[in-house]
Structure 1
Amino acid sequence: MRLTQLFLILLALQVLVSACSPTKRREDQGIVAKAWHNTNAHFNGYFNAREIMDETLLALNEQHEDNYNQRLEMFPFLAVDNPSTAAGELDRAIEKVAIVVKKHPFSNWTDDSYLLVGQAQLLKQDYESAERTLDFALSEFRPRPKRGKSKSTSDDEGEEEFESRREVEASKTQTRRDRLRARREAQRERERTIKQRQKEQKVAQKQRERERRAKIRARKKGIRLPSSRPAAADSTALAGLENEPDTPETEAEMEEGPIGMISIFSNRSADEAGSGEYGSNPGSYLLKHRPAYQEIRLWLAWTLIKRDDFDRAQIILEDLRNDRGTYADVRRKAIAVQAYLYLEQDRLEEAIPYLEAAAEVAEERNEQARYSYIAGQLYQELGQPGSAIDAFRAVVAAKPAYELELGARINMAQNAYLSGSGSPAEALRDLERMAGEEKNREYESQILYAMAGIALNSGDEAAGAEYLRRALDSPYGGSNTRVEAYQLLGDMAYTQEDYLTAKNYYDSTLQVMAETDVRFPETSGRRDRLTGVSDNLQAITVKDSLLRIGMLPDADRRNWAEEVFELRRATSSAANFSTPVTRGSLPVTNASATVAVTGSSFWGYDNQAIRRGRRDFARRWGDRPLEDNWRRSSRTDVSLFTDAGDAGVADPAAESVTLVTEDEINRILADVPTDEATQAATRAELAEAYFNLGREYRDRVNNNAKAIDAFETLDERFPGTAFEPESWYYLYLLHKAEGNTAEARTYADRLAQRYGETKFARLANDPNFVNELADEESGRNRAYEAAYAAFENRDYADARRRILASVGSLPEDHALRARYDLLNAMVSGKLEGRAAYVSALQQVVNQYNNTPEQTRAREILRLLGESAARVPGRTETTAGTSFQASMDEIHYVLIVFENTDARLNDLKIELENFNQQYNKLDRLKSTPIYIGRNNETPMLVMRRFRDGNTAMEYYRSTQQNSQDFLANSGEGFQVLPVSQTNYREILKARSIAGYADWFRANYQ
């Protein structure tokens, strides 16, 4: 017995030593060694990595918020705005499977580990790395070819279903032939299945029709037929099923599953792994490991879609869907990814069948509902409301999460009248009823937005705008609905040419719209184009009002001031009533004082929430006075002791006491122009505002009609101003562009009669004047080139003579003036020495802000070791031209601190903590350095990034995760990606000055 135990111990030690040896080849591994490696690979590294992935997916799913007012994302975990929040956890998962591959390279879980790495990189939106990883796994773990059974190979049944490409040389011709044959067989089997289903549907339809007719006949005779249900099959009558239970087997109800579609990552079930929708059984993997080759191909196709390599992705997906050996779960996912491919290509009609097919084979209710919901939205976009209703009915039938069901019901109401089965009034009534239900209270804004869409589609823009405003005022309005409502209101106002209102709505839109939204650049650009129009319209409104008040008699002006005071006092009282006031504090006297507390999260400081609450109160209780009615002792008004309808109680001689003082009146009337001089100045400002408004309408908004109206108002109200000749020339151009030849000729004649010597009159009446201007400009350019050539030929005296001769004839605002002054500074340096050179260069810097000449002068001063003497109040905004844009070059990232006493070592530790959390696998290193003539500027230099795009990704990550990036340091800093060449320029100059502006102008 002891000998047997000793023998077993020695055998176990031998197996353990052989199993732990990392140098053994695959074929040298014994059964026990394989089991040991597989167990450790699966239940240590891979299992933990899979758990991290599941938790990360849940976090990404919670981060993404579905916008039911737009087309839903098929896979929200790929649509998050800031994937770097999960980068740290995904890097942890990658590290764990990397250990699996290193310590257990021949385990069955090596291919799964590579697959998980590719999945993690895809979730990080690092598509290039994901493609490289999955491409390698695809070539490394392709299945081994089938071999005939023999005695020598009978022991290989337990081996993996893949092997390295270095060990297999398969025939490409044979593989292609087998694939084509499999596709043809699959197609024939699909056709047979479709025919069989159609036949069964016809039989069932005939049976239902017979039953319906029988019921009608029986009803006429007064007979009530029992409900016809298919009888349960007698399982005991079937051979081989004697042990089955007597009750019929019911179909298991589908699980709900997460809304975020993370079920695409769910672990495959062994019992279904070998069964397909059609085709032969690819093999049972109930007791052995299933290769990850097919899933690697699926995820590679997914990655190629994100890389816009649609052709290659299409080939892979077609092969997965048509191959008879594809696992059922992989085929189910491939159908969904095929729909995703068509959506990415905006091929909506082709995506719909695959969405419906994916919904049919989905295993979870939310997954099924989501595919059907997107299909319904596509039908809406294609103008097929009937099909859209059917798709949304399928969503409701799936019994998904309430958000999906409610969105489907809202869309059904919207599409009902479009399909002819209802009217807009009925749809609005149904949605109003839904909005009033308690369970839909938190979705009120979403329902109101849908009602606005119905009203707008039916042509009632006033009602649509009112519904949108109600959606914005709803206390349950989410950010997505607010974005859509503000955007739509802005577009409506823009279409109606109400540009001031449109600009304000666009401002509100951009405050709640994410910068990653595809509409952000267009909305921002339209807002910027309307800024000049808005500013001038506001200036005209204010100055017109002030001028009108200033021309009133003194008594009327004083009465107006008193009314303004009373209005402000009433507004202040309402604000005090709604805003808590601390004990001992003074009451707020104007509305602007409440701005100081807007940063608080307390509900009482949210004016918008207060307005919503006041409106909700009025809906329920009506218009009640704001008074303490619950305690009689606190009421001091006369009505406390009188009943309604009592006459003669109040004193008719009693008058309200006016609390306004002379100081208050003078303060209100401070900006009102009352004398002739200030009124004339106000009129001049009004004329300028009208002139600028006309130019903004023409040049920025492209609204010629509005521009003509503005210039004609200027001509009518303020004749003889300095803007008159140019405004007439604009009117000549505008009428000519609009085809009003007679009107254009009128303004050309007026210019010729009154301003015949100006360039505007000559431009309108002399066709050759444009050529003369071009020749004159060409002569000026030739004169400058001659002066510069003299400087290059070292004939500095001739260069000075030419400069002085040409500058005198230039207009004050001509661009050549700056170039002449810079050239004159260089000539001064040659003729008069260093002091004159520096002085002239400083004059160029001070006089020509934001010009290339200023930049060049500043660079020369820096090389000379001098500083540019700036004019007080003027800031440097233009970077030097010595910096060069090179995105393909190696890049660094500079963190430049404002505090000269910043503790760089502590900041370096905090920076490394951030990199560990968000960029763990990049192995970034930072170095503390000081630059400046006196080493006064501390900064951290982080090395290194392979190109500018990678550095910009890190820069955007610091902006998106600013709450974690050096947030606890309390230091002010700038983050600046810089190329290797530009970094050398910074070190050479020993200054960072100018680079921040150059970076913002060239990188963003």
Structure 2
Amino acid sequence: MKKLTCYVFLLLALQLVFISCKSTKSREEQGAIAKLWHNTNAHYNGYFNAREIMDETLLVLNEQHADNYNQRLEMFPFLAAESVAGVSEELDRAIEKVAIVVKKHPYSNWTDDSYLLVGQAQLIKQDYESAERTLSFAATEFRPRPPKKKVKKGQKADESEEEFESRREVESSQAQSRRDQLQARRDAQRERQRTIKQRDKERKEAQREREKERKEKIRNRKRGIRTPTKVTSDTTQVEGLDNEPDPVADELFAEAEEGPVGMISIFGNRNAADADGGEYGKKSGSYILKHRPAHQEIRLWLAWTLIKRDNFDRAQIILDDLRNDRSTYASVRRKAIAVQAYYYLQQQRPEEAIPYLEAAAEVAEERNERARYYYIAGQLYQELNQPGAALAAFEQVVAAKPAYEFELGARINMAQNAYLSGSGSPDEAIRQLERMAREEKNLEYESQLYYAMAGIAMRSGDDAGGADYLRRALDSPYGGGATRIEAYQLLGDMAYGQEDYLPAKRYYDSTLQVMADTDGRYFTTSDRRDRLSGVARSLEEITLRDSLLRIGTLAEPDRRRWAEEVFELRRATNSAANFSTPATQGSINIRNPAASASTLSGSSFWGYDNQVIRRGSRDFSRTWGDRSLEDNWRRSNRTDASLFTDVDDNLAAGAPSNAEVALVTEEEINAILADIPVDAQTQATMRDQLADAYFTLGREYRDRVENNARAIEAFETLDRKFPGSKYEAESWYYLYLLHTTEKDAAAAGRYAARLAENYPDSKFARLANDPSYAQQLVGEAGQRARMYEVAYQAFEQENYARANQLITGAMPDLPEGDPLLPRYALLQAMVTGKLEGRAAYISSLQQLVAQYNDTPEQTRAREILRLLGETGARLPGRATAVAGGKFRESMDEIHYVLVVFDDREAQLNELKDKLEAYNEKYNKTDRLRSTPIFIGQDNEVPVLVLRRFKTGQDAQAYYRSTQQHQTEFLNDVGQSFTVYPVSQTNYREILKARSFDGYGDFFQSNY
């Protein structure tokens, strides 16, 4: 009997659990056990796992973010990530888990937390629109209602005053939804029947009452008694009706609409409020045994999202409400203060952000968080030129005892601001930083310290000293990427400001190699680099050819003596390569000795780079100390003669002996002198090339750099050194324009007179001396443009014969170089295609590609040829030539993808691991495998080969993927490389030739 009783109770318990788990039950129908079951499963299954994923994701994003202490720090590193592709998959997993929680446990206490987590994940994924929708819905759906009023015993509670609960309808499945609809329909029908019966009953009751009153009146009339008239009361004034306003709710909402009343400090009540996350102004322990609603945090993250979407007005309303409402939780209030500072920073309003940053730092719970807020406040004070306040803020950073990077950055800024605030001098600040640089613990922050010294030196007017400190920062082997960006950028700006354009262009090149394209300065720096490219190219060419020409004019014995010196220099640098780092060995390539001798700074050879030499010397000294330059110095039991004998003082260390100098052969001398212009014809050709370089330099100065003084100098040098050159008339006209712009009428008139005297029939003379001629040229250009429009209109109207006639008549009269020529050529090709068919169309397009290089029309023609299944360029009278010569297009063939590295010392095994990690992430199902090989006459070009792709389209898709994920595709390996899709046949051609010569052009034309 006892066993039977236990069995019955067990069945009843299982039935109770089963009934409580039905998703169609409303909140009121759930018992205590059902609520406990739903809350436990929602919290410790889906939501807990999703929260763990979110915490790990935030940790990954914070670790990926590298603070640049030379620029304003980010308040929230996890929101400053350039790319979240690496964590998107994990965030999607978290969203899926809480979606299951909401689906299976819609009335649990963790539903609002689940919606909050979804909004947080979408915000971190930078899907701001979806995050706003999610959080706005949750803020409305889970808005709390005023608490219940106390009800006396025997009175019925007002249902409208119950705590707010969700109005959502949760559907477990389509079948269940249909059952619920049918059940609701039956319930509604039964309710209508009950209502009809109740109304019939009330009507009959009213009829009986009226009949009773009528009989009563008759009786009273017989007795002579007058019955008083019954007055109907106004039911709208009865208490408790639905249309009566709720005084408690109105009072609360009216208080919220009055606006902010000032930021309420939580400093005094911080401990009591934060002991368990309770509400401000309430007793501690309010939410120890019951779940705390997430509504306030939902609103806070909604404000965050609105700031990211530039909806600042709505965000400010939410933040004011959270900061000023006394019922806001202390933890939410602390975050709201920080988000308010972020609100002002996003709008570039530093003066208003500083008070909130300092307030957020005061209440921050973590040391690094407090230090970060104070650090940003100090940087803002620096931007506002308030060194005293900045110094105080950085002192607060140190007092917070944060991570050492924060402390070191703060101490560097304290040294910089100390003398600016009047409590020190620049020399004292630099000496303090130099002491810090010599400390062993600061070794890895050496470049950062040198960069700070450069800032102090330049701020005190010592630009040369600042440039030297910047170069020392770049020479440091511990130079971080952020410091290198700032140092290269600053050196480039200094050189540009000093009009030293060749070094400026090189510094900008280096800047763009280490600067991400998401940096706000990237496009400005890239534009300035591009504008300096022509100037730098002309300056290098002038330096090289001028040196070669000067050496060519020397006597034969002097040229031989110079060649011997170059040979000795080569051998000395080859010897020094034994003491260089592995990355620099084997890179000697002095292709042009004259250029090496005359402009060492322009060479790519490592021995001419002072930064590389100093860095290698310092690395060597740190590891091995001060050792003499000799062979086998590490051997403990050497037996060579120099172990017991002194070295000849007359021979410098590393210098070749007399016997070695005598080893130079005639072939080596001739090889060095091969490019030297000796005969008169070669020298005349080189002078023409120099004149061309000077003319190009002047135009670049005027048109690209907009430096008229340098342009005048270049054109006048051309006129002085190369009189009578083919550029003389045009250069004089440029000088006339430049002097006119500079308002030097006398000089402008002098060049106009020279043009009229020496080139009276040229267009330059007429432009300088006849103002009406310029208007005539403009009129002619307008007439030619109108003729093109007429021809194009005829083509659009399908009058191809008329269009062809207009094109044929207009093209011969166009001057050489006119921009209308390629436009006419493209239009003529399209007309030819309509009149003569596909073959003539392809031939005309190929002729356009060959004839008009670097024009938009050439690009368009290539696109059309690819669509037609053709490629290459064809000139009249020549056979079809395919771009790349030996390479052939075969998109249906098996393809490989080649990653070609520029550095000969690239570590292919490490690069292979990086490449396969990328493929595992983005191309996991393709099962790609990479093979390291070397290509070249001396196997000097390292290559990774990815096998394999079924078609060229598949290889192109992979190539496009590498372009879309540039920040992840071998981005952190410190190597420059090129990616080429290549067919199996063309790959064999590359292996046969052991060279990539020509494939770059073929790739551009076909892929």
What TM-score bracket applies, with the shorter chain setting the length? 0.7 to 0.9
What is the CA–CA distance in structure 2 between the aligned matches of 1:289 and 1:897, rounded to whole Å?
66
In the other structure, the counterpart of 2:819 is 815
For 1:94-493, list aligned pairs within 5 A: 94-150=95-151, 162-164=164-166, 178=252, 181=255, 187=261, 271-276=275-280, 279=281, 284-493=286-495
Tell me the CA shift for residue 739 of structure 1: 1.6
User: Match for residue 692 of structure 1?
Assistant: 696
Distance 1:504 1:713, change over 3 A: same
Tell me by how many angstroms 1:10 deviates.
3.1
Is the aligned partner of 1:615 residue 2:594? Answer: no
Contact 2:955 2:981 in 1 (8 A): no
Aligned residues of 1:899 and 1:972 also touching (Cα < 8 A)? no
For 2:671, which of 667, 671, 689 is the aligned residue?
667
Q: Is the 8 A contact 1:572 1:588 kept in 2?
A: no
1:162-220 deviation digits (Å, cap 9, x = unpaired): 522679999899868636646989848959x99x99xxxxxxxxxxxxxxxxxxxxxxx
The 3-state SS of whatever aligns with 1:99 is helix
Give the CA deviation at 1:22.
Answer: 1.1
Kindly indicate whether the alpha-carbon contact (under 8 Å) linking 1:182 and 1:324 is maintained by their aligned counterparts in 2.
no
User: Structure 1 residue 711: deviation in Å?
Assistant: 0.7
Question: How many Å apart are 1:87 and its aligned residue?
Answer: 1.0
Residues 873 and 169 of structure 1: is their aligned pair in 2 closer, same or farther, counting only changes over 3 Å? Answer: farther
CA shift, 1:124, in A, is 1.3
For the structure 1 residues 51 and 864, does the alpha-carbon distance in structure 2 shift closer, same or farther, using more than 3 Å as the test? Answer: closer
Once structures 1 and 2 are overlaid, which stretch shifts more, 94-103 or 825-834?
A: 825-834
> Does 2:893 correspond to 1:900?
yes
Q: Residue 355 of structure 2 aligns to which amino acid in structure 1?
A: P
Secondary structure (helix, strand or coil) at the match of 1:409 reads helix
**Corresponding position of 1:504:** 506
Match of 1:984 in 2: none
Cα pair distance change 1:866/1:938, threshold 3 Å = closer
Q: Provide closer, same or farther for how the CA distance between residues 635 and 860 of structure 1 changes in structure 2, counting only shifts above 3 A.
A: closer
Correspondence 1:38-77 to 2 at 5 A: 38-77=39-78
**In 2, are the aligned partners of 1:569 and 1:590 still within 8 Å (CA)?**
no
Aligned pair 1:707/2:711, yes or no?
yes
Aligned match of 1:85: 86
Q: Within 2, Cα distance between the matches of 1:356 and 1:792? A: 67
Is the 8 Å Cα contact of residues 183 and 323 (structure 1) preserved in structure 2? no
Give 1:547's aligned residue: 549
Return the letter of the residue paired with 1:572.
N
- 2:93 and 2:47 map into 1 onto residues whose CA distance is 11
> How many Å separate the matches in 1 of 2:825 and 2:726?
30
The 1:751/1:286 distance shift into structure 2, 3 A limit, reads: same
CA RMSD in angstroms comes to 4.6
Structure 1 residues 118, 563: closer, same or farther in 2, change over 3 A? same
CA drift at 1:509 = 1.0
One-letter amino acid of the counterpart of residue 419, structure 2: Y
C-alpha separation in 1, matches of 2:498 and 2:246: 65
Helix, strand or coil for the counterpart of 1:66? coil
Given that 1:108 and 1:160 are in contact with CA atoms closer than 8 Å, whether structure 2 keeps it comes out as: no
Query: Structure 2: which 5+ residue stretches go unaligned?
Result: 170-241, 593-605, 652-656, 898-915, 926-949, 972-977, 983-1000
On the 8 A contact 1:57/1:77 being kept in 2, the answer is yes
> Aligned-pair distance for 1:490?
0.9
- The CA deviation at 1:272 is 3.5
Q: What is the deviation of 1:763?
A: 1.2
Show CA shifts across 1:856-883 (max 9, x none): 766877888876754677759xxxxxxx
CA distance in 2 between counterparts of 1:555 and 1:701 reads: 43
More displaced stretch, 336-345 vs 523-532: 523-532
2:734 paired residue among 724, 730, 734: 730
Indicate conservation of the 8 Å contact 2:148/2:162, yes or no. no
Distance 1:955 1:400 in 2: 39
CA distance 1:173–1:634, shift in 2 (3 Å): farther
Distance 1:538 1:28 in 2: 86
Quick one: distance in 1 between partners of 2:533 and 2:253? 62
Q: In structure 2, do the counterparts of structure 1 residues 902 and 587 end up closer, same or farther at CA, with 3 Å as the change threshold?
A: closer
Corresponding residue for 1:979? none
Deviates more, 1:669-678 or 1:139-148: 139-148
Residue in structure 2 matched with residue 259 of structure 1 by the alignment: none
* CA distance, structure 2, for counterparts of residue 188 and residue 835 of structure 1: 80
Per-residue CA deviation, residues 79-129 of structure 1 (Å, 9 max, x unaligned), is: 122211111111111111111111111100000001011111111111111
Pair 1:960-2:962 in alignment: no
1:658 aligns with 2:665: no
Counterpart-to-counterpart distance in 2, 1:817 and 1:430: 66
The one-letter amino acid paired with 2:771 is P
SS at match of 2:554: coil
- Compared with structure 1, are the counterparts of its residues 493 and 792 closer, same or farther at alpha carbon in structure 2 (3 Å cutoff)? closer
For residue 843 of structure 1, report the CA deviation from its aligned partner.
Answer: 3.2
Task: State the alpha-carbon separation in 1 of the partners of residues 98 and 890 from structure 2.
Answer: 39
Instruction: Supply the distance in 1 between the matched residues of 2:446 and 2:291 (Cα, whole angstroms).
Output: 51
Counterpart secondary structure, 1:27: coil
Q: Deviations over 1:216-257 (max 9, x none)?
A: xxxxxxxxxxxxxxxxxxxxxxxxxxxxxxxxxxx99xxxxx
Q: Unpaired runs of 5+ in structure 1? A: 198-250, 253-267, 594-602, 648-652, 877-895, 919-934, 943-951, 965-969, 975-993
Give the match's secondary structure for 2:813. Answer: coil
Question: Contact 2:375/2:393 (CA < 8 Å) preserved in 1?
Answer: yes
Q: Distance in 2 between matches of 1:403 and 1:839?
A: 65
Shift of 1:364: 1.3
Residue correspondence of structure 1 range 937-948 to structure 2 within 5 A: 937-939=952-954
**SS of the residue aligned with 2:51?**
helix
Post-superposition Cα deviations, 1:741-795, rounded to whole Å, max 9, x if no partner, equal 1111111111111112111111111111111112222333444456667777888
Give the AA of the match of 1:354: Y
The Cα shift of 1:687 comes to 0.6
CA distance in 1, matches of 2:818, 2:104: 73
Match of 1:31 in 2: 32
Letter paired with 1:130: A
Check whether the contact 1:302–1:337 (CA below 8 A) recurs between aligned residues: yes
Structure 1 residues 131 and 677: alpha-carbon distance in aligned structure 2, compared to 1, 3 A threshold: same
TM alignment of 1:717-756, pairs within 5 A: 717-756=721-760
Alpha-carbon deviation of 1:733? 1.1
- The equivalent residue for 2:194 is none
1:26 is paired with a residue whose SS is coil
In structure 2, which of residues 764, 769, 772 is the aligned counterpart of residue 768 of structure 1? 772
Call closer, same or farther: CA 1:874–1:735 in 2, change over 3 Å. farther
Q: Secondary structure at the match of 2:28?
A: helix
The alignment partner of 1:68 has SS state of coil
Distance 2:844 2:259 in 1: 86
TM superposition score normalised by structure 2:
0.74
After TM superposition, give the deviation of residue 320 of structure 1 in Å: 0.3
State the distance in 1 between where 2:247 and 2:689 align.
83
1:815 to partner: Cα distance = 3.2
Equivalent-residue separation in structure 2 for 1:189 and 1:853 (angstroms): 63
Contact 1:571–1:591 under 8 Å retained in 2: no
Q: Which amino acid aligns with 2:51?
A: R
**Which deviations, in whole Å up to 9, do the C-alpha atoms of 1:908-937 show, x marking residues without a partner?**
x9999757999xxxxxxxxxxxxxxxx965
Letter paired with 2:617: R
1:321 Cα deviation from its structure 2 partner = 0.2
Cα distance in 1 for residues equivalent to 2:755 and 2:956: 63
State how many pairs are aligned.
837
Report if the CA contact (8 A) 1:122-1:130 is conserved: yes
| Cα deviation code 1:299-333 (max 9, x no counterpart) | 01001111111111111101100011100000000
